[in-house]
Amino acid sequence: MQRDDPSSQTPRQVDPAPTTGSVATRATPERVVGVTALVLVTSVVVQNVAAVVAGAPGYGDPMSDVLSFHAEHRGTVALANGLEALNIPLLLGLVVGLHGIVARRGGVGADWSRLAVAAGSTLVGVYVVYAVAWDGVVLSAGGLTEPTPELELAWRMHAAAFALALPALGTTFVGAAQAAFVCGLTPRWQRLLALVGGAVLIAAGVANLAIADGSGLLFVGMPGYLAWLVWLVAIGVRLVRARTVGRPQGASTT
């Protein structure tokens, strides 16, 4: 009778359930960060498409064009700045969430992720100035029949804020991509993309005064801006789809 007892002891079958459950739980933060990246890039693309379709003026265009556009397309600016308010928590959630992933994977790349958090926070502050200045432009344009020095000042401040956002974005890009690569989240090509794209964004930001005055040097940073969007899609898809990516390497060794 006692020999039958060992054969009836089958509690080991319970073990797989908590392990699979724990893997799914560990994957959740990575998937949240992945979805955040995809929502962020979607919001940015919608912003830019809306501006292009509406025929938004460039920083080097005559102030008469700036006035007429903002007087007639207040809804476009409202949409773009409304999405900017959404982009702020998305960007912060992305960099802070990535830092948390790095910490759970043993802390390798933590310095880079801290840099991304600091640069991302700075970028958010610059974006606030950018959006507020744009609100000032559209609100002023509604009651004007011809450009005024105040309208031009608000427009130049808007341009200067965008120019200074470029190096902040470049630093955020490099820090986030380096952290993701070092801790094993992304392949090497994404790291190279960030290094080149980030360098281009930082270089373009050096010419912020010229850009605020309407210089075409703004377009020097556009390849880096596009590289940022590509990276957001790449890491977003990878984190959402790959379950094994969400498993902390450090946890398996300890």
In angstroms, the Cα distances linking 51 to 127, 169, 221 are 17, 20, 18
CB distance 38 to 232 below 8 Å: yes
Q: What is the pLDDT of residue 12?
A: 41
Q: What is the pLDDT of residue 1?
A: 46
Model pLDDT for residues 30-42, shown as the tens digit of each residue: 999 999 999 999 9
Q: Where are the domains of the chain?
A: 30-248
Model pLDDT for residues 79-125, shown as the tens digit of each residue: 999 999 999 999 999 999 999 999 988 999 999 999 999 999 999 99
Q: What is the pLDDT of residue 23?
A: 43
Sign of CA dihedral 121, 126, 129, 130: negative
In angstroms, the Cα distances linking 135 to 143, 156, 190 are 14, 13, 35
Structure tokens at 116: 């991304």
pLDDT at residue 177 tops 60: yes
pLDDT confidence bin for 29, thresholds 50/70/90? confident
Q: What is the pLDDT of residue 246?
A: 42
Q: What is the pLDDT of residue 249?
A: 41
Model pLDDT for residues 180-233, shown as the tens digit of each residue: 999 999 999 999 999 999 999 999 999 999 999 999 999 999 999 999 999 999
Q: What is the pLDDT of residue 242?
A: 60
In angstroms, the Cα distances linking 95 to 11, 67, 127 are 42, 37, 16
Which of 149, 143, 159 has the alpha carbon at shortest distance from 71? 143
pLDDT confidence bin for 10, thresholds 50/70/90? very low
pLDDT at residue 20 tops 90: no
Q: What is the mean pLDDT of residues 40-64?
A: 95
pLDDT confidence bin for 28, thresholds 50/70/90? confident
Structure tokens at 19: 């392990």
**Distance (Å, whole) CA 230 – CA 1:** 67
Neighbours of 24 (CB within 10 A): 12
**Distance (Å, whole) CA 69 – CA 55:** 8
